[in-house]
Structure 1
Amino acid sequence: MSEQWTVSAPQKLTIDGEVTRLRVRTIAGAVNVVAADGPARIEVTELEGPPLTVTLVDGELTVTYDDLTWKDFSWKSLLPFLRKWSEHARRRAVVSLTVPAGAKVELGSASSDTVISGITAPVTVHSASGSTTLVGLSGKVEANTASGSVQAQGVSGDLRVNTVSGELTVFEGTGGSIKANSVSGAVTVDLAQDNTIDVNLTNVSGEVAVRIPAPSDAKVHANTTSGSVSSAFDELHVGGSWGAKQLTGTLGKGTGKLKITTVSGSVALLRRPAPEDDAAPLALDFNKEDQA
C-alpha cells in the first residue's frame, strides 16, 4: 500500500492505513507527536517555505522535505547540517501528529522543538539545536543533540542521550537504564521511588546532579578530575588526591549502580524526599556540608 500527499499550506490529514512507523524530517518550527487510538492524523498549522511531502508506504508514515535525507541527521553530521541549512531560505513548519502508541518514532530536525508523549515503541530523536521533550515513553529512547535541551519525564524505557552543550533533565525516572554523555551541558537526573538504579553519566565541564530516593540499593562511583563533590548520604565517602576526587560507597544492598565521571564539572548527589513528604523542587546544589 502506497499513498502520497503534498502539503503546501496549513492542512489536516487523516491516514486511513495502518501506521507502524513514523519518520519526520524538518528544519525549524515544532513537531508534536502524541499516542492515540484510531487512525493516524496530521495537522500542519504553520508552514513557511517549500511544501512538505507526506507518504505512507507499507505502514511507514513519512513527513519531510524532498531534499532532506536521514544521513543529514546522523550524530556526526548535526553541526555541519545546521550550518548548511542556516544559509538557505527560511523553512518553518509546525506539525502535530497522532499515531498508535506502538508505532516506532524517528524524528530529525535542525532547530524544531519536539514533544513526544505516550509512545511504547522505540523513539529516536536527532536535533541540532531544537529542544526535545519526552513524556511517558516506555520503549527504548535515544536522543542526540548539539545544543538543544532534552527533558524526559516519566520515561520507563532505556534512555540514551548524547549532547554537546545542551542540558539534560530527567524527572521521575521510573525504570530502565539511563546513559548520558555531554561536553558542557548540565545533567540533572531525578530517580523515582522503588526502581532499580542503572545510571551512567559522563560530562567534561558541565555540572552533574542526581537525586536518589531513600532508601535505595546501588553501588556508587563518582569521580571528577578538578570539580567539587557533594553528597547527602552518610554511606558515601569522598577520597582522592592531587585535586581529583572520588565519591564511592554502597546504598542499601547495592543491587543497582550509579556511575558519574566528569573532568571539571561538579558532582552532587541529592536525597529525594519520601513519598509522604511534600515534593521538593529538583535543583542543583553544590554547597552541601559534605562537599570536598
Structure 2
Amino acid sequence: MSEWSVAEPRKLTFDDPVTALHVRVVNGTVNVVGTDEGSARLQVSQVEGPPLQVTQRDGTLTVAYEDLPWKGFLKWLDSKGWRRSAVVSLAVPAGTRVEVGVVGATAVVSGVEGPVEVKGVTGDTTLVRLSGPVRVDTVSGSLEAQAVTGDLRFHSVSGDLTVVEASGSSVRADSVSGSMIVDLDPTGTPTDVRLTNVSGEIAIRLPHPADAEVEANTASGTVSSAFEDLRVTGQWGAKKITGRLGAGNGKLKAVTASGSIALLRRPPVEDEPREPAPSPSAQDSTPDDSTDGPTDKKVL
C-alpha cells in the first residue's frame, strides 16, 4: 500500500493500475474525469483544515479525510468543529468504478464508463457523458445530468433533478419537495422512467414520435399534456394522464401528491444544418498546452 498526507497544493501520478476511486471531502470542489490513459493523476490545488489522506491499495485509490467514512456519510457531523475545504481534480481510466462523497462541496464527474455513485448533503452534483450505471443520493443537493446513457437512480429530500438527453434504459427518482425535469434523447432506446414526488413539480419532455406507456397521477396538483393521444381525467382533486404513445415499448410513470405534472413534446428530429467551412485566415483558438497560463502579446 502507498500512502500520502496532503496538507498543501500537490500533484501526484499513480503508475500502478487504478480500478476503483473513492473520494470523500467536506467543502470545496471535486472534479473527476475519465481518460484513455492507463495511469491516474491527482491534483490538489487547495487545502484548508486537516490534511487529505491519499492511499492506493489493490487497485483502489482513496482521497479522503480520516474521520469521514463512506458508511453513514449523509448523517456525518464535524464533531471537532474544524473548518475544512479542498479543491481536488482527478483523471482516472474511463472504466474506473467511482464513489464520490461531498458534504458541502460540488462534484463534477465526466467521461466515466464504469459505475458511478455520489453521496451529497448540501453539495450539488453534475454528471456528463457517463455510460455506466449511476446512483446519486443527496439531502438538499441538486443533480444535473447530461448525456447519461447508463441507468440513473436519484434519491433526495429537497434536491432538484435536471436530466438532459437521457438515453439509458431507466431513470428512477424520488424526492419529497425537489423539482424534477427529465428530457429524453430522441435517438435513444425506449426508456423506463419512474418519478415519485410529494410536493415538487415534475416535467418530462418526450421525443417526437414518442414510444411509451404513460401513467401520471397527482392528488391535488395540476396536469398538462402536449400529446393528443393521451387522456387527461379529473377536474377537482386527483388528476391523471394515461395512454399509449407509439408502440408503448417504453414506460413513463410519474406520481406526486401536490405538485404539478407536465408532459412536453420535443420538436421532430431534423438534419443539422451544415456549417460553413472556416476561411483560410481563421486562426486556431485552441489553447496551447505547452504554456502554464495566458501570455500577453503586443501587436505592432
Q: TM-score, normalised by structure 1?
A: 0.90
* Counterpart AA for 2:258: S
Q: Find the counterpart in structure 2 of residue 155 from structure 1.
A: 148
Correspondence for 2:184 among 182, 191, 206: 191
Query: C-alpha deviations, 1:160-181, integer Å up to 9, x for none?
Result: 0001111100001122200000
- Please report how far the alpha carbon of residue 39 of structure 1 lies from its aligned counterpart in structure 2 after TM superposition: 1.2
Q: Work out whether 1:254 is the aligned partner of 2:248.
A: yes
- Please report how far the alpha carbon of residue 5 of structure 1 lies from its aligned counterpart in structure 2 after TM superposition: 0.9
Give the whole-Å Cα distance in 2 for the aligned partners of 1:197 and 1:142: 17
Q: Work out whether 1:229 is the aligned partner of 2:228.
A: no
* Residues paired across the two proteins, number: 271
Show structure 1 runs of 4+ deviating over 6 A: none
Structure 1 residues 86 and 134: alpha-carbon distance in aligned structure 2, compared to 1, 3 A threshold = farther
Q: Work out whether 1:49 is the aligned partner of 2:49.
A: yes
Correspondence for 1:172 among 129, 153, 165: 165
Query: C-alpha deviations, 1:38-87, integer Å up to 9, x for none?
Result: 310000001000101100000000001111111231xxxx2x42xx2287
Structure 1 residues 253 and 86: alpha-carbon distance in aligned structure 2, compared to 1, 3 A threshold = farther
Higher fraction of helix: 1
Q: TM-score, normalised by structure 2?
A: 0.88
Give the whole-Å Cα distance in 2 for the aligned partners of 1:269 and 1:87: 48
Give the whole-Å Cα distance in 2 for the aligned partners of 1:250 and 1:89: 55
* Counterpart AA for 2:195: L
**Looking at CA atoms only, which structure, 1 or 2, has the larger radius of gyration?**
2
Matches within 5 A, 1:76-91: 78=74, 80-81=75-76, 84-85=77-78, 88-91=81-84
Unaligned runs of 5+ in 2: 273-300
Q: Find the counterpart in structure 2 of residue 33 from structure 1.
A: 32
- Please report how far the alpha carbon of residue 274 of structure 1 lies from its aligned counterpart in structure 2 after TM superposition: 1.6
Structure 1 residues 86 and 168: alpha-carbon distance in aligned structure 2, compared to 1, 3 A threshold = farther
- Please report how far the alpha carbon of residue 242 of structure 1 lies from its aligned counterpart in structure 2 after TM superposition: 4.9
Q: Work out whether 1:212 is the aligned partner of 2:206.
A: yes
Q: Work out whether 1:23 is the aligned partner of 2:22.
A: yes
Query: C-alpha deviations, 1:200-255, integer Å up to 9, x for none?
Result: 00010000000000101100000000000000000011113651001000000111
The percentage of counterpart residues that share the same residue type is: 56
Unaligned runs of 5+ in 1: 279-292
Q: Work out whether 1:95 is the aligned partner of 2:88.
A: yes
Structure 1 residues 86 and 218: alpha-carbon distance in aligned structure 2, compared to 1, 3 A threshold = farther
* Counterpart AA for 1:249: G
Of residues 136-145 and 30-39 in structure 1, the stretch that sits farther from structure 2 once superposed is 30-39
Give the whole-Å Cα distance in 1 for the aligned partners of 2:224 and 2:263: 6
* C-alpha RMSD of matched pairs (Å): 1.5
Give the whole-Å Cα distance in 1 for the aligned partners of 2:175 and 2:72: 21
Structure 1 residues 249 and 277: alpha-carbon distance in aligned structure 2, compared to 1, 3 A threshold = farther
Q: Find the counterpart in structure 1 of residue 59 from structure 2.
A: 59
Q: Find the counterpart in structure 2 of residue 140 from structure 1.
A: 133
- Please report how far the alpha carbon of residue 97 of structure 1 lies from its aligned counterpart in structure 2 after TM superposition: 0.2
Give the whole-Å Cα distance in 1 for the aligned partners of 2:251 and 2:54: 44
Of residues 155-164 and 34-43 in structure 1, the stretch that sits farther from structure 2 once superposed is 34-43
Q: Work out whether 1:118 is the aligned partner of 2:117.
A: no
